[in-house]
Amino acid sequence: MTDQSGNVFGDGPVVLPVGGPLYLQLKRWIEDAIKRGTIKPGDALPSERDLALRADVSRVTVRKAVQQMVQEGVLVQRHGSGTFVAPETQRVEQSLSQLTSFTEDMARRGMSVRAEWLDRGLYTASPEETVVLGLTSGERAARIARLRLTGDTPLAIERASLSSNILPDPAGIGDSLYKYLDKFGVRPVRAIQRIRAANIAEDDAHLLQVPMGSAGLHIERISYLATGRVIEFTRSIYRGDTYDFVAELRLGDPSVGVKS
């Protein structure tokens, strides 16, 4: 951690990078100090006043640079404590070539994961759920929503919908939905998954402990039984700074599709 003087950048003159507005120059200077290890995750920045004096800029410039870095997740502000370099987050990789549950995927990596239940119950199906799941008139939707964490770090929010005929008791699920479905012979065997970039909305950002508007991954998955019936409709939001999806690509046979 930094010493009590707050002199985290050494005693030499401050030379801001050239180019752009002053607040961006200061922002790059602080980012460079973090990359060099001059200040480390968890270290406190000097006060706004001290940083302004040290860099020979106005407090407004310091405030603007710090606010942008907080929005980007580089710095975190703690009420009554100050501004700190954000802790490092462990990135997680998930293969796009295998259909596994979150719990199974993390277990293969030797990672300890847990879930906090946000919701689980039976509801009147929305028009989207009715169409995607192929529900009959009057059939309700079973919904489960979970916050996924590794250690104390939130990774994702998962919101899944299934037919109430398939999942009549959402409260009976343990640590894995797929493990629960497997007991009744209705575990999905394939899925179509769509991934797109998204800015995390306020409520989800609070749960994921990131600034509102942070980069995230919105994932929609429709899973099928061997019969072709849709079994699960899941919409999830993943933190963009902790999760990577990896796909193995193979070169196709150039002779396929060529007429003789």
Q: For the chain, what is the mean pLDDT? A: 83
Q: 43 Cβ partners below 8 Å, 6+ apart?
A: 1, 2, 8, 84, 85
Q: How far apart are CA 69 and CA 259, in angstroms?
A: 57
The secondary element (H helix, E strand) that includes residue 243 is strand 243-246
pLDDT, residue 2, reads 40
The residue among 179 and 78 whose pLDDT is bigger is 179
The mean pLDDT of 74-100, rounded to a whole number, is: 70
pLDDT, residue 41, reads 83
pLDDT, residue 162, reads 97
Q: What is the DSSP string of 49-87?
A: HHHHHHHT--HHHHHHHHHHHHHTTSEEEETTTEEEEPP
Q: How far apart are CA 97 and CA 248, in angstroms?
A: 7
Name the token pair of 130: 């009715």
The residue among 78 and 173 whose pLDDT is bigger is 173
pLDDT, residue 100, reads 58
Q: How far apart are CA 7 and CA 51, in angstroms?
A: 9
Lowest mean pLDDT among 81-85, 88-92, 179-183, 220-224: 88-92
Q: How far apart are CA 193 and CA 206, in angstroms?
A: 25
151: phi > 0 → left, psi -120 to 50 → alpha, else beta; which? left
Q: 228 Cβ partners below 8 Å, 6+ apart?
A: none
196: which strand partners?
218
The mean pLDDT of 173-185, rounded to a whole number, is: 89
Q: Per-residue pLDDT for 203 more than 90?
A: yes
pLDDT tens-digit series, residues 147-160: 988 777 888 999 99
Q: What is the DSSP string of 178-199?
A: HHHHHHTT----EEEEEEEEEE
The mean pLDDT of 197-221, rounded to a whole number, is: 90
Nearest one of 76, 74, 50 to 62, comparing CA atoms: 50
163: which strand partners?
141
The mean pLDDT of 34-52, rounded to a whole number, is: 85
Q: What is the DSSP string of 88-138?
A: P---EEEESSS---HHHHHHHTT--EEEEEEEEEEEPPPHHHHHHHTPPTT
Q: How far apart are CA 149 and CA 115, in angstroms?
A: 6
